[in-house]
Amino acid sequence: MPNYRYQIRTSGGQVQNGVIAADTVATAAAILRNQGAHVLSLAAQASGTGETSLMARFRDMNAGKPTQKHVLDFTTQLAVMMRAGISLRAALEGIGDQTEHPGFRKIINQLRTDVESGQTFSSALAKHPKLFNPLYLNMVRASEMSGGFSSMLDRIAGYIAQQLETRKMVVGAAIYPVIIGTLAVGVTVFLLTFVLPKFAGVFQGKEDVLPWATKFLMGLSAFMVQNWYILLGGLLALLGCGYAFIKTEVGAFWVDKMKLSVPIVRSMFRSLYISRSMQTMGQLINAGVPMLDTLSITGDISGNQIFKGLWRRVHTSVKQGRKIGDPLRQDKILPTAVVQMISAGEESGKLGEVLDEVSTFYSKQLKDNIKTVTGMIEPIMILLMGTVVGFIAMAIILPIFKMSQIVK
């Protein structure tokens, strides 16, 4: 059972320090409050493992950058501690002491320092935009103005968890075809550069009886063996140029457009971006964030340049006094049923609830689309790999079979 260092103010107004053993920091806080004390600070006590500074530095160097998983854990813990009645400063101190990731621990300690200096929590979070996105900041800011901080943190944690699960599903759907494609390319290169050259001596002087496929592959094999360094350099240069291109605004727009155009995957990405947009919008509206800010944030978080442009146009239209549904009907990027539901929610004053329902529907549809895409890509990749390997095998076997008949 871990120990926690505490500082409390007793019912008589005296400040006391000590150590308490409890399963969690929330349990420790509850025990102290039941004793009639007001918790000023509560943090995990150092375990005293005797870890050397060299080992600590090595661990810090290999920890990597903080991720959204760290943000999710932080938000969940903070919500629990807020419900337990622990002050924000004490909660940040306790979470910071328990966080193993060195980079994220520094960020939490910086948040605590900023809060202690009198800054609002949302202002402290705004200094770390790579971890805490505009949705996170605006929902926290809304809770600071209206109250219900712990419940808002629960909603933020639920949103982050849903986004992480969605990203995991999409990445998981892409891993299989990437592995199969890599194997196909690797096997092809191996056959062309290691297997075929061994048959060059067998086929030498018999070019007249070789089929066109064998001649083509033998020539390709010889070219790859003799110029492998040029091909490798060209491949690396091509990959580098491609990576640099997709990082540009034009390249990112082209890639995002392809995601919504390629027949096999467009349904999956369409469901992904609609679900993400509706969930973001619904969360912000239910949190009381102003509509113009909601539309701007939704565009930034949508994850696709086409959808980002859509929400920017909606933002401009709403700023001019029009309703949300008007520009959505003109763009025709969203399905007609979704636009109708948004318009109905806007008319009835229940837009946040409607958006949550649409988001839930498209989240389920996304899972179905991922299964469909995975089921379609698997046989296609196997067929392509089998065709390439089979073509190479036949190009080797056919001339051997033909020469054996000539010998007979």
Residue range 232-261, pLDDT digits in tens: 899 999 999 999 998 888 888 999 999 888
Q: Which of 11-25, 89-103, 134-148, 258-272 has the lowest mean pLDDT?
A: 11-25
pLDDT for the residue numbered 295: 92
The residue ranking higher by pLDDT, 60 or 149, is 149
Once rounded to an integer, what is the mean pLDDT over residues 199-222? 78
* Token reading at 305: 């340049």
- Asked if the model's pLDDT at residue 177 lies above 50, the reply is yes
Please indicate, yes or no, whether residues 186 and 317 belong to a single structural domain of this protein: yes
Please indicate, yes or no, whether residues 176 and 124 belong to a single structural domain of this protein: no
The pLDDT tens digits for 343-369 are: 999 888 889 899 999 999 998 998 898
Last residue of a domain, one of 77, 105, 132: 132
pLDDT for the residue numbered 306: 92
Give the number of domains in the chain: 2
* Token reading at 102: 């060195």
- pTM: predicted TM-score of the whole model, two decimal places: 0.74
Please indicate, yes or no, whether residues 222 and 351 belong to a single structural domain of this protein: yes
257 in a structural domain: yes
Please indicate, yes or no, whether residues 115 and 196 belong to a single structural domain of this protein: no
In terms of residue numbers, what domain contains 17? Answer: 3-132
pLDDT for the residue numbered 49: 46
**What CATH number is associated with residue 225?**
1.20.81.30
The pLDDT tens digits for 270-315 are: 999 999 999 999 988 988 888 999 999 999 888 899 999 999 999 9
pLDDT for the residue numbered 48: 47
Please indicate, yes or no, whether residues 65 and 195 belong to a single structural domain of this protein: no
- Asked if the model's pLDDT at residue 51 lies above 70, the reply is no
Strand runs labelled E in 205-302: none
- Asked if the model's pLDDT at residue 386 lies above 60, the reply is yes
144 in a structural domain: no
Once rounded to an integer, what is the mean pLDDT over residues 162-172? 86
- Asked if the model's pLDDT at residue 50 lies above 70, the reply is no
pLDDT for the residue numbered 392: 82
153 in a structural domain: no
Last residue of a domain, one of 107, 132, 157: 132
pLDDT for the residue numbered 1: 66
CA distance 183 to 180: 5
14 in a structural domain: yes
Once rounded to an integer, what is the mean pLDDT over residues 47-71? 61
Please indicate, yes or no, whether residues 402 and 336 belong to a single structural domain of this protein: yes
pLDDT for the residue numbered 254: 92
- Asked if the model's pLDDT at residue 62 lies above 80, the reply is no
pLDDT for the residue numbered 406: 59
Please indicate, yes or no, whether residues 261 and 334 belong to a single structural domain of this protein: yes
pLDDT for the residue numbered 237: 94
Please indicate, yes or no, whether residues 122 and 207 belong to a single structural domain of this protein: no
- Asked if the model's pLDDT at residue 405 lies above 90, the reply is no
Last residue of a domain, one of 74, 103, 132: 132
- Asked if the model's pLDDT at residue 173 lies above 70, the reply is yes
186 in a structural domain: yes
Q: What percent of the chain has pLDDT over 70?
A: 92
Number of Cβ atoms within 10 Å of the Cβ of 406: 8
Please indicate, yes or no, whether residues 85 and 177 belong to a single structural domain of this protein: no
**What CATH number is associated with residue 112?**
1.20.81
Please indicate, yes or no, whether residues 243 and 381 belong to a single structural domain of this protein: yes
Please indicate, yes or no, whether residues 119 and 179 belong to a single structural domain of this protein: no
158 in a structural domain: no
Q: At 72, is the pLDDT very low, low, confident or very high (cuts 50, 70, 90)?
A: very high
72 in a structural domain: yes
Strand runs labelled E in 22-179: 38-44
288 in a structural domain: yes
Please indicate, yes or no, whether residues 281 and 378 belong to a single structural domain of this protein: yes
Once rounded to an integer, what is the mean pLDDT over residues 206-234? 84
Q: At 263, is the pLDDT very low, low, confident or very high (cuts 50, 70, 90)?
A: confident
